[in-house]
Structure 1
Amino acid sequence: MDGRGSYPLPSLQQLAYLNQKLENLLTAYQAVTLKNEAAAKKAVHAMKEYDEQLEKGFEGRAMSR
């Protein structure tokens, strides 16, 4: 670094490289998070449907003791 506060070119190139890597990581993380959210919603929907089917199966049955 010279006295004017500027950075040498290799340092700037390294920072740009790291910035690009972080942006790629963020993009990948966002994609995985969206997939996980969709999978969770699908699983909850499937469980809700299963619960509703179970409920219909119990309707009309007298509870015996």
Structure 2
Amino acid sequence: MGDSGSYHLSSLLHLVHLNQKLGNLLTAYQTVTLKNEAAAKKAVHAMKEYDEQLDKGFESQAMSR
């Protein structure tokens, strides 16, 4: 295997390493995205509950008049 063969092997190993890094990056991105989605759903749920509480407060004020 001459210089050309070792160059190709080195290039292949470099591509394998880059592929592993991209795989790790994708996994990290998916994890962050899922956490962000969960946080957004939780925030929307909290705002909906707060809106419902406000609505109940307005209804009780309207009935007491």
Q: Which runs of 4+ in 1 moved over 3 A?
A: none
Tell me the residue number matched to 1:9.
9
What displacement does 1:8 show? 1.0
Correspondence list, 1:43-54, <5 A: 43-54=43-54
Uncovered stretches (5+) of structure 1, i.e. residues with no partner:
none
Task: Tell me the distance in 1 between the aligned counterparts of 2:48 and 2:17.
Answer: 47
What displacement does 1:53 show? 0.2
Aligned residues: percent identity?
Answer: 78
Aligned-pair Cα RMSD in Å: 1.5
Task: Tell me the distance in 2 between the aligned counterparts of 1:39 and 1:33.
Answer: 10
Q: Letter of the 1:18 partner, please give it.
A: L
Task: Tell me the distance in 2 between the aligned counterparts of 1:16 and 1:23.
Answer: 10
Correspondence list, 1:26-41, <5 A: 26-41=26-41
Q: Which has the higher helix share?
A: 2
Uncovered stretches (5+) of structure 2, i.e. residues with no partner:
none
**Number of aligned residue pairs:** 58
Equivalent position SS for 1:60: helix
Greater relative contact order (Cα < 8 A, sep 6+)? 1
Task: Tell me the distance in 1 between the aligned counterparts of 2:16 and 2:31.
Answer: 23
Equivalent position SS for 1:8: helix
